[in-house]
Amino acid sequence: MNQSEHILELAKHRRLLRAADVLEHGCSPQLLLKMYQAGKLQRVARGLYSLPDAEITEQQTALEVCQRVPKAVLCLLSALQFHGIGTQMPHEVWVALPQGTQTPALDYPKLRITRLRGTAYSEGIETVTEHGAPIRVYSVAKTVTDCFKFRNKIGLDVALEALKDAWNKRKITMSEITHFAKINRVEKVMQPYLEAVVA
């Protein structure tokens, strides 16, 4: 099997290919551009390639963002949509980045960036592998408490809907919510709503 065939085989198993992925398998990254010019691959975004007939998944945009911005974690509205909670359909990809990191220069997709520090950023990250590429997303419980933390940005109604829906679908436990509410310093804010949901 030559390098081009190897790259095509790799593209079948992974949704997106970057130069680093190809290099990791002992192939020349320059081949990606040559194969794109020959019509064997399509360029999804700068530095990202896939097969021309590759199926577009629901998580396509999330995959692209996580491939291009290594520290990005899906949060708030994008995380709610990812977990199938509530009715939010965000027009941008909501991501969390550590405090002090450079803002990514992406033309597409449009990002809505939230800066977090310490455990508020690092706790609750789940890595879901979709078509061989990782998507980093906050857990349901972390996402719900984030919604209360950023209720002024997204609306208290969205936070309440997320809490009720996640609780009714049994996607969260009280101990998980309490843990992340402490990290996000929203225990007092959430207390009356938690009591109403459990009642």
CATH number for position 8 = 1.10.10
When pLDDT is cut at 50, 70 and 90, the band that residue 1 belongs to is: confident
Report how far residue 158's alpha carbon sits from residue 58's, in angstroms, rounded to the nearest whole number: 22
Mean pLDDT, rounded, for 138-148:
98
Sorting pLDDT into bands at 50, 70 and 90, what band is 56? low
The verdict on residue 156 lying in a domain is yes
pLDDT in the model for residue 80? 96
- 39 DSSP β-pair partners: none
Any alpha helices (H) in 69-173, and if so which ranges? 76-83, 119-122, 140-149, 151-154, 156-168
Q: Is the residue at 55 inside a domain?
A: no
Structural domain containing residue 42: 3-50
- Same domain for 44 and 64, yes or no, is no
- Higher-confidence residue of 110 and 164: namely 164
Let me know: does 111 contact 65? Beta carbons within 8 Å. yes
Question: What is residue 89's predicted lDDT score, i.e. its pLDDT?
Answer: 85
What pLDDT is attached to residue 58? 57
3-state secondary structure of 4: helix
- Within this chain, do residues 117 and 163 fall inside the same structural domain, yes or no? yes
pLDDT at 44 over 80: no
- Given a contact cutoff of 8 angstroms between Cβ atoms, the answer to whether 144 and 163 are in contact is yes
CA 108: distance to chain centroid? Answer: 15
Please indicate, yes or no, whether residues 37 and 108 belong to a single structural domain of this protein.
Answer: no
Count up the domains in the chain and report the number. Answer: 2
Residue 41 and residue 65 in one domain: no
